Every structure is written in C-alpha cells, then in structure tokens.
C-alpha cells in the first residue's frame, strides 16, 4: 500500500548538519534540565504512600484530597481508578509516615513508667509504625497494651512477633491506613467502604528501583547493539544505538521540562520505545542493504536517500496507526495510564525522526570512517610489499 501517488525523492541525508545541530541542542538541553531541575520522581523512586480507597458511590476527588490533606499527607494527589461506576480512587503522597518522633518517645516513656526499661526497643522501621519490644522479665500482652495505650495515642495495638519465655512484641502505632480510614468515615459516612490496599515505599527501596530501572534500559540497549551488529555489520550498529539513546534522552527531557511524574510506568514506556524504534530502524537498514545490492555503483548517500524514500509510505502508515492507538490511550484511558501514553507518544515521534535523521547519517559517517581505515590498511600492505626484497633466482 502506497500513501503517496508519486514516487518521492527527498534528500534526507543532505540535511545531516541541520538536524544534527537540532538533536544536539535537544540532548544538551536535556542534560542541563536533569542537572538543574531533575525529574519529578513518583513514589516508586522517591518514596511515599499510595492508598486505594473504595466507596459505595462516586465522590468528589477534591473532597477526598481535603480529607488526605487534613490527616497530614503532603500534597496528596487523588485520581480515579477504573471506571467511574467502581468509585475507587488512588490517593498518592510523598509522605511515608504520619507519626512524629515525639509520639514514639511518648509511647516509650509510658511503657518504661509502667513496665520498666525494656531490653529491646527497636524503632528502626522506616515508617515508624512498628516498634519491636522485648523485656528480660516476662510480661503479658495485656500489660504491654495497657502501658502503650496510656500514652494517650488512639489506635495503638500490640501483637506477639516471636513467642518464648521472654517474647518479642510488636507495638503497632496508628498509621496512614488507620487515620485515612477514620477521616474518610467521618467525612463520607456510609459512602466510604474501605481502604482496599496501601503501599509504602521507603527511600532505600526507591533508590534500588531507580538503579534497577537504569540497568534495565542499559541491558536493553546492549542487547539491541549486539543484535544489529550480528544481523548487519559494524557500520550499522552505532547508528542504531545513537538513535535509541536519542529517543530515550528526548523523552526523559520532556518529562523533566514539564515536571510530569516519572515512575515505573515511564520506565516500561522507555523499554517499549526502544523496541519500537529499533524495529523501524531495522526496516530502513534492510532496505538500505537491499538497495545497495541492486545498485553497486551508487554512492551510499544516494542509496540511503532512495531507501528512505522507498519506505516513506510504510513509515507514515505504520507509525500513524500506532500513534493513533497511543493517542486513544492518552485521551480516553484515564489518568492512571496518562504518563505511559505521554511517554509513548513522544518516544514514537522521536523514533521516526531518529531513524531518518540520526541512524542513517551515523551509518554514513561510520562507512566513511571504516572505508578510510580499509584504504589506509591497503596502502600500508602495498608499501610493505614494495619494500620487501625480491626473492633470489
């Protein structure tokens, strides 16, 4: 199927300098943004809490946001989850715990006053909501519960963590789930059903997920490089890698520029962009190799222009149809998938651009470099042959 009625003959490769400067500005701008502004990391990377609240009927996200702010959550974000009829809402915040050190100290003081100094008081839980306690002398669960609740903090619970003569107890302080449940019940009454799930990510886990996400992208690029070099040759590999890196950098730069949330969905989108972009690049490379085999005396620059023009209809049709699907997710998929669709939209547009104006020109430069090396090696071999003494008769 051809999109254009007449055969096109655009000089794509002739504009290497213009688009090379343009891409260089984009990449440099991205690095400057990352160095000065950084990324707006989601709770998966920066740490925080995400709660899924279910209601019996739809409620106003603004009212739920007020409830979350009222219990102390920092700049909570409330979005619908699923269809509106499900009446489920995601509440996200960078806050990992609502407990203060003063509250923990108050509970410790109450326990020491009633039961004496404990042999173990481990309050290293990152959220501060769980404290491990052990006494040298046997204590009952009721004694510890009474002592902890005498601090005057509602919702303190006690449970056995490990049994024995001197068991280790787990003192659970009222956390985000408890306070959000109480506040939502007070605000919405019977319309509030429950907190279906609550996930909290600490800073250490967030840093680990950042590293794993970066490694996933790195491994994907290395695998693609090996695939392209194996399928074609050394001339084509660097062009593919430079174009893929360009797509990832440009997409990340857009998220930094506009302050969009960068989370695990975006990492998944970047991996999908790599796959989509390399597929487009491989199609162009195949046509370049096919055209070069049928036109042996044609310069590589002209071979590339012909290949790019021959695949222009295919590029517009496949990329256009795919982009329509992604735009449908962006506009109709809801706020939960909005970030993924945004990243895919930017990456797909960049992928088509980089295949034409990054991958092919870099391949042309690599061909010139390798040709010069081969010519220099041939001259060196010829000079060594001429300098060698003639064999004796």
Q: Is residue 392 part of a domain?
A: no
Check whether 96 has a pLDDT greater than 60.
Answer: yes
- CB-count burial class (<10 Å; 0-12, 13-18, 19+) for 196: exposed
Alpha helices in the chain (DSSP H): 16-36, 43-46, 61-70, 101-115, 141-149, 176-188, 203-231, 237-258, 264-294, 300-310, 312-332, 338-354, 360-387
Q: Is residue 108 part of a domain?
A: yes
Q: Is residue 89 part of a domain?
A: yes
327 and 207 both lie in a single domain:
yes
Check whether 8 has a pLDDT greater than 80.
Answer: no
80-91 pLDDT, tens digit per residue, is 887 888 899 999
Q: Containing domain of residue 65, as a range?
A: 48-97+177-201
Q: Is residue 348 part of a domain?
A: yes
Would you say 44 and 263 are in contact if contact means Cβ atoms under 8 Å apart? Answer: yes
If you average pLDDT over residues 110-118, what whole number do you get? 86
188 and 116 both lie in a single domain:
no
Q: Is residue 310 part of a domain?
A: yes
* Confidence tier at 69 by pLDDT (50, 70, 90): very high
Check whether 122 has a pLDDT greater than 90.
Answer: no
Longest dimension (CA), the chain: 113
Q: Is residue 152 part of a domain?
A: yes
CATH of the domain at 58: 3.30.70.3400
Compute the distance between CA of residue 252 and CA of residue 244 in angstroms, rounded to an integer.
13
- CB-count burial class (<10 Å; 0-12, 13-18, 19+) for 321: exposed
Check whether 349 has a pLDDT greater than 80.
Answer: yes
Beta-strand pair 40-41/261-262: parallel
Rounded mean pLDDT of the chain?
84
Query: Domain boundary residue among 174, 191, 219?
Result: 174
278 and 262 both lie in a single domain:
yes
Range with lowest mean pLDDT among 25-39, 178-192, 299-313, 368-382? 368-382
Would you say 54 and 196 are in contact if contact means Cβ atoms under 8 Å apart? Answer: yes
For the whole model, what pTM was predicted? 0.77
149 and 130 both lie in a single domain:
yes
Q: How many domains does the chain have?
A: 3
270 and 238 both lie in a single domain:
yes
* Confidence tier at 128 by pLDDT (50, 70, 90): low
197 and 208 both lie in a single domain:
no
Q: Is residue 379 part of a domain?
A: no
Compute the distance between CA of residue 175 and CA of residue 128 in angstroms, rounded to an integer.
9
55 and 189 both lie in a single domain:
yes
* Confidence tier at 251 by pLDDT (50, 70, 90): very high
152 and 167 both lie in a single domain:
yes
Q: Is residue 1 part of a domain?
A: no
210 and 354 both lie in a single domain:
yes
Both tokens of residue 128? 């501060």
354 and 217 both lie in a single domain:
yes
């Amino acid at each position: 199927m051809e999109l254009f009625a007449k055969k096109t003959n655009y000089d794509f490769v002739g504009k290497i300098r213009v688009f090379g400067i343009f891409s260089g500005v984009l990449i440099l701008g991205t690095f400057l943004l990352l160095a000065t502004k950084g990324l707006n990391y989601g709770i998966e990377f920066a740490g925080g809490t995400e709660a899924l609240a279910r209601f019996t009927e739809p409620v106003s996200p603004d009212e739920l946001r007020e409830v979350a702010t009222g219990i102390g959550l920092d700049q909570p974000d409330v979005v619908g989850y699923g269809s509106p009829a499900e009446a489920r809402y995601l509440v996200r915040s960078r806050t990992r715990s609502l407990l203060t050190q003063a509250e923990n100290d108050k509970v410790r003081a109450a326990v020491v006053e009633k039961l004496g100094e404990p042999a173990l008081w481990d309050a290293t839980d990152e959220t501060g909501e769980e404290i491990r306690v052990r006494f040298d002398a046997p204590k009952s669960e009721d004694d510890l519960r009474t002592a902890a609740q005498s601090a005057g903090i509602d919702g303190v619970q006690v449970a056995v963590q490990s049994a024995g003569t001197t068991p280790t107890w787990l003192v659970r302080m009222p956390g985000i789930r408890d306070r959000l449940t109480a506040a939502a019940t007070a605000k919405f009454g019977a319309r509030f059903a429950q907190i279906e799930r609550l996930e909290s990510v600490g800073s250490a886990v967030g840093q680990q997920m950042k590293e794993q996400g970066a490694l996933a992208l790195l491994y994907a690029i290395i695998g693609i490089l090996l695939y392209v070099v194996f399928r074609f040759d050394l001339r084509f590999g660097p062009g593919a890698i430079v174009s893929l890196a360009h797509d990832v950098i440009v997409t990340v730069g857009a998220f930094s520029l506009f302050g969009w949330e960068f989370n695990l969905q975006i990492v998944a989108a970047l991996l999908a962009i790599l796959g989509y972009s390399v597929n487009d690049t491989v199609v162009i490379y195949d046509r370049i190799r096919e055209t070069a085999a049928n036109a042996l005396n044609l310069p590589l620059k002209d071979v590339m222009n012909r290949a790019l023009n021959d695949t222009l209809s295919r590029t517009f049709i496949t990329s256009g149809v795919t982009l329509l699907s992604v735009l449908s997710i962006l506009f109709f998929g809801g706020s939960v998938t909005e970030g993924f669709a945004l990243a895919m939209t930017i990456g797909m547009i960049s992928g088509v651009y980089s295949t034409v104006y990054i991958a092919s020109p870099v391949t042309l430069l690599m061909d010139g470099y390798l040709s010069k090396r081969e010519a220099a090696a041939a001259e060196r071999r010829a000079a060594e042959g001429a300098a060698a003494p003639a064999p004796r008769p």
